[in-house]
Structure 1
Amino acid sequence: MNGVCRLLASLLYGLESYMDGTPDSIFLQDMLMGNTLHLLIKVYDRLQRFKAQRPIPVECDAERLTQELAEELHTKEASPEVVELLFLLSKPHLMGLLFVHDAVAQKDYEPELPPTPPLPDDSDEEEESVKIIRLVKSQEPLGATIKRVSTGAIVVARIMKGGAADLSGLIHEGDELREVNGVPVEDKNPEDIIPILAQSDGAVTFKVIPGTKGELAAKDAKVFVRALFDYNPIDDPAIPCKEAGLVFRKGDILEIMSQGDDTWWQARHHDKAKPRAGLIPSRRLQEKRVALRRPEALFHPQRHSKPDTGKRNEGADYGAISGIHVAGLRRSFRLSRREAQDRWRKSDGQVASQFPTYQEVVPYHKEPGAQHRLVLLVGPAGVGVSELKKKLLISDPERFDVAVPHTTRAPRKQERGGVEYHFVSRHTFEKNILERKFIEYGEYKGNYYGTSVNSVHKVLEEHKVCLLDVEPSTIKDIYTAEFKPYVIFVKPPPLEQLQLSRRKAKVISNEDEAKPTKTFTEEDFEDMIACAQVMESEYGHFFEKIIVNDDLAMAFNELRAEQSRLETETQWIPKTWAQPCSDRNLK
């Protein structure tokens, strides 16, 4: 502040001899001594002090949080306080204030543009086609990649959405790079230009020849995808620029910013404040990669488990009740472990043609009064799926329920139709099979067992959460907008922890009058882990939540917390589930 004032005073003193009363000199004197200039100097001083504090916004997305709060309040009881708060949140003044807050919080005001040096005056024969571009350089990359083309020229390969180069609108894909900060680059490799940029302070000056590539088209509608695999550009030798890559994990929601390149898309994490996009492999590229390096465990699951001796209790599912693992809690029509593995081995050819990479999704929030999403519990035999389901039912029977299955066997003592089972004739059951009324079914000891679509709908129509544990092969048949299933995979811990947590557990046979018990064997543990690996490899793209059941109480708490989250938080569902149904003929 003092320096500016001294400079202004020196300027006035030096100009005294030139103040001859002409209009120009009077205008200059009035401007230098006027209140406007002095007020600007005060503003400058305040900004300098404000800059020294380096304030950081607590939240960069207050507008979105306010919208989510309003959506959650709509689900609450309409008390006077809730009504008043909703009214205040809907006021245009508050909405405008939040919009301005987010705009300021997300904008990078640093660094200041340094004094502009004189532009080079040594024009050549290409003077008309050369552009001089000056971009402000912050701590973030400029958001552009370069490459050498067949002609030997260095050109801009791609512009990253949201980066400094993209926001400036001055540099485009296909532009030929001639100089960087006055250093010619015609004889340099792309990697040699990186140190020049790294040494630049404040701003970077480019001399380019505009390319023939036209301007980008208007922005497309937002596209969001759920990543179905892990990715780290550092480990990818094919990516054009590792620094421009985007790290993500399986299950992350990504916003696709550009699909203009068939090989490399541009994307960013939807829940992070950084506007700059990063490179990710396109769906086409990733599918080719997976086809070329098929996981050994996926196509040869039998190599990861010992052969089945047929001595186990088929159809058994184990859960922890007072230290004893009870078989038969999972419905007895399920495939045995041996049958399930045989099916997976036979389906290897089918799996080879399916390479899930990205799933296009849209945000979803359950409206008040709408049906709950169907909750599917999946896991290998013995991991404790049935016990987790049972504990969830006992914890809140008014909120959770299960679909009553159908069977052709005769009712036992104290069994009531429509409570334990729907008892039907064999003819009726087979007719329902032909009419595709079952989600899944099977035959056990000469009797049919199955879960019908209607029984699931009955639970959902009562506005309860329907819990269903199924074989993983069933998921794809009910992965529809009708049920909007939320798939939870219950996974065993590593072998050593599995042996420790189940060391005192026992198994009761699935036979009707069986009483003898036996402890878990080493083979049981190995089969459980092998089956879990196969399930995750083949059906993992359906799993939205994975719970490791090392301790039943902790696994239950995690499951219960996940159910609560489903009721309150916005979820992401496949885009096809949100699209309107196709036209139907009038009856």
Structure 2
Amino acid sequence: MNMLDGATALIFLLPGSPGGAQELTSTDMPVLSEDSGLHETLALLTSQLRPDSNHKEEMGFLRDVFSEKSLSYLMKIHEKLRYYERQSPTPVLHSAVALAEDVIEELQAASVHSDERELLQLLSTPHLKAMLMVHDTVAQKNFDPVLPPLPENIDEDFDEESVKIVRLVKNKEPLGATIRRDEHSGAVVVARIMRGGAADRSGLVHVGDELREVNGITVLHKRPDEISQILAQSQGSITLKIIPATQEEGRLKDSKVFMRALFHYNPREDRAIPCQEAGLPFQRRQVLEVVSQDDPTWWQAKRVGDTNLRAGLIPSKQFQERRLSYRRATGTLPSPQSLRKPPYDQPCDKETSDCEGYLKGHYVAGLRRSFRLGRRERLGSPQEGKVSAVAESPELLTYEEVTRYQHQPGERPRLVVLIGSLGARLHELKQKVVAENPQHFGVAVPHTTRPRKSHEKEGVEYHFVSKQAFEADLHHNKFLEHGEYKENLYGTSLDAIQAVMARNKVCLVDVEPDALQQLRTSEFKPYVIFVKPAIQEKRRTPPTSPACEDTAAPLEV
């Protein structure tokens, strides 16, 4: 459609009018100046529309069209482009690069003075060469893609409005669409549009469209793999003859969901994926941006930080969990319980006191590991058994939803969780960190049901509570970890952790790996650190004394 210039009269054909045409003009219609553009003309025309009882629907249609914001924006863009065409300066030279090369050649052949040497160095810099190259490209107008003319021999077998000719321009990248053969009609239809691909960026190809021709080649009787080969070999522009789907699916917004992968994935080894070439390989702990969850079985995702804009297929969380459950049931996947080492439940023979937290004049409270190790065997109440069963339930590792996080000024510090083997001396590490900087770091004061000793203070070494109160809090899942030692209950509560963080301190906790799931929330945003013992300590420490961990040893974080 050709755009109109200035105040060109607009005539619309309305049914029922004499001669089939009704001119929307009036004797008292204001006269537009020669400088008036399409935008002003459209606004004036909209204001001059008068109700017509004989053509209510047509007049309403015209009013809606003229009031459409997108049409107004197009008019403004058209006026800006026409103004640029009238005002844009004519380039003096179309080959600045060649001129610069001639000057460099002349300067190199002649005797070079200081000014000439400086000019030679300036013309030889990559940035100036690139700028001159861009100048020539704009001057010669080589920035528009050259498209071949549309084919004239369009089949007349289809209705003129039902056939759509789509021309896509792509480089070496894939088209970004998958096809399949319809089981009922036998037609080749678009099965999936990959987000970010050439087909998705064009907005002209939709799921369900029937594909008839590719670059003039009929694909009605070809296999999908043969059609894919034709598309892969095509470079530059690709012309598709498409019959649009009956109901074209609208372009959905990106979901912007970030997932951390908890397993390795190679689509070449996945026989269930509908198209291996469209699969997205990833490694464990890579962060993926899921851009489409329309298909409950196969999501579309991109690797965060990857320069490739096209999304790929990955198994959905539900589908991957189903596969893992099936493999575990058939015995092809080992159960986490079979890989879990038996719990250490030996008491510490060298331990004479249940709290040894004084270091450099500061007391550092904490739940000793020896009180936690035998909790599954020693606690037998229904509530405790329920908590224990939750911790022992096998988890299918697929994806973990994450989000971008940046610490804001005034926000309270994050929780620091220490995880390590028995030789890592986590309790001693906490003591040293808090003793060196007690204003910045703190630990959660544990709860206990044992009687308070004469030298102990409430809320310093422990929170001393009754057994009934302890079991009530345990029933309401207020404890992160708990255990029994010498018929007394000990536990670290979530309220104690929050109390340290409320004082604007970094709370240090060391827990068993099973307790991490309860801490990985938006409230705590834990920073998990794995602490391993030094090599010489691992060689020296016998494996039969796991609970005796309070002797000095070098640490590695």
- Give SS of 1:226's match: strand
Q: Please give the residue correspondences for 1:253-332 in structure 2 after superposition, counting only pairs within 5 Å.
A: 253-294=287-328, 299=335, 301-302=337-338, 313=348, 330-332=368-370
CA distance in structure 1 between the aligned counterparts of 2:499 and 2:466, rounded to whole angstroms: 21
- Give SS of 2:481's match: strand
Asked if 1:503 corresponds to 2:539, the answer is yes
Equivalent residue, structure 2, for 1:336: 374
CA distance in structure 2 between the aligned counterparts of 1:110 and 1:386, rounded to whole angstroms: 69
Equivalent residue, structure 2, for 1:351: 393
Equivalent residue, structure 2, for 1:454: 495
Asked if 1:401 corresponds to 2:433, the answer is no
Equivalent residue, structure 2, for 1:39: 90
CA distance in structure 2 between the aligned counterparts of 1:191 and 1:301, rounded to whole angstroms: 44
Let me know the Cα RMSD of the aligned residues: 4.7
Equivalent residue, structure 2, for 1:214: 248
Q: 1:113 aligns with which of 137, 145, 165?
A: 145
List gaps (5 residues or longer) in structure 2.
Answer: 1-84, 101-124, 128-140, 352-365
List gaps (5 residues or longer) in structure 1.
Answer: 1-33, 56-108, 317-327, 518-550, 556-587
Equivalent residue, structure 2, for 1:363: 404
Q: 1:178 aligns with which of 209, 212, 220?
A: 212
- Give SS of 1:198's match: helix
CA gap 1:552/1:177 in 2 versus in 1, 3 angstroms? farther
TM-score by length of 1: 0.58
**Identity rate, percent:** 44
CA distance in structure 2 between the aligned counterparts of 1:484 and 1:113, rounded to whole angstroms: 53
1:111–1:136: 8 Å Cα contact kept in structure 2?
A: no
Deviations 1:145-198 (A, max 9, x none): 112222332221111111111111122111222222222222322222333233
- Give SS of 1:39's match: coil
Asked if 1:134 corresponds to 2:167, the answer is yes
- Looking at CA atoms only, which structure, 1 or 2, has the larger radius of gyration? 2
CA distance in structure 2 between the aligned counterparts of 1:114 and 1:484, rounded to whole angstroms: 57
TM-score by length of 2: 0.61
Q: CA deviation at 1:466?
A: 0.7
2:188–2:224: 8 Å Cα contact kept in structure 1?
A: yes
Give the residue type in structure 2 aligned to 1:261: D
Q: CA deviation at 1:448?
A: 2.1
CA distance in structure 1 between the aligned counterparts of 2:477 and 2:350, rounded to whole angstroms: 24
CA distance in structure 1 between the aligned counterparts of 2:126 and 2:175, rounded to whole angstroms: 22
- Flag the structure with more relative contact order, 1 or 2, with Cα contacts below 8 A and sequence separation at least 6: 1
- Give SS of 2:370's match: coil
1:385–1:490: 8 Å Cα contact kept in structure 2?
A: no
Asked if 1:484 corresponds to 2:516, the answer is no
Equivalent residue, structure 1, for 2:229: 195
1:112–1:202: 8 Å Cα contact kept in structure 2?
A: no
Equivalent residue, structure 1, for 2:182: 149
Give the residue type in structure 1 aligned to 2:524: K
CA gap 1:215/1:485 in 2 versus in 1, 3 angstroms? closer
- Give SS of 1:332's match: helix
CA distance in structure 1 between the aligned counterparts of 2:554 and 2:540, rounded to whole angstroms: 14
CA distance in structure 2 between the aligned counterparts of 1:407 and 1:110, rounded to whole angstroms: 79
CA gap 1:308/1:385 in 2 versus in 1, 3 angstroms? closer
